[in-house]
């Protein structure tokens, strides 16, 4: 039986728009590659098996897009602030209110 709500393993919020880190990391790599192709290769997905299903590829996942994006954003901040800003503009999973 499927539970009615699937919660993120990191923030414990209900994942209402599940997109797995594999799908997200592809999009993120494409964005970062526009500015820094070397840095783009450093973006990796964090596959954590869970009961939520990605709306794009159908894979099981347990980490919400918000937490994954936050991890990548903090990583980019350390490496390249300009890219981090562009990232925030395009992948806004509630990050803007946290970091601005
Ligand atoms: Zn989360
Ligand atoms: Zn996916």
The pLDDT tens digits for 39-94 are 999 999 988 999 999 999 999 999 999 999 999 999 999 999 999 999 999 987 76
**10 C-alpha vs ligand 1 centroid, how far in Å?**
5
Query: Does 1 score more than 60 pLDDT?
Result: no
**70 C-alpha vs ligand 1 centroid, how far in Å?**
9
Q: Which ligand is nearest to the CA of 21?
A: 2
Query: Does 100 score more than 60 pLDDT?
Result: no
C-alpha triplet 69, 16, 88: angle, nearest 5°: 25
**43 C-alpha vs ligand 1 centroid, how far in Å?**
18
pLDDT, tens only, 4-20: 578 999 999 999 889 99
**100 C-alpha vs ligand 2 centroid, how far in Å?**
28
**Residue 60 dihedral angles phi and psi, to the nearest 5°:** -70, 140
């Amino acid at each position: 039986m499927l539970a009615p709500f699937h919660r993120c393993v990191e923030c414990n919020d209900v994942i209402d728009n599940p997109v797995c880190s594999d799908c997200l990391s592809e999009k993120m790599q494409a964005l970062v590659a526009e500015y820094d192709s070397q840095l783009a290769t450093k973006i990796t997905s964090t596959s954590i098996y869970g009961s939520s299903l990605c709306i794009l590829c159908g894979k099981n996942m347990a980490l919400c897009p918000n937490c994954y994006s936050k991890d990548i954003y903090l990583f980019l901040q350390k490496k390249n602030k300009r890219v981090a800003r562009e990232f925030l503009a395009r992948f806004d999973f509630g990050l803007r209110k946290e970091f601005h």
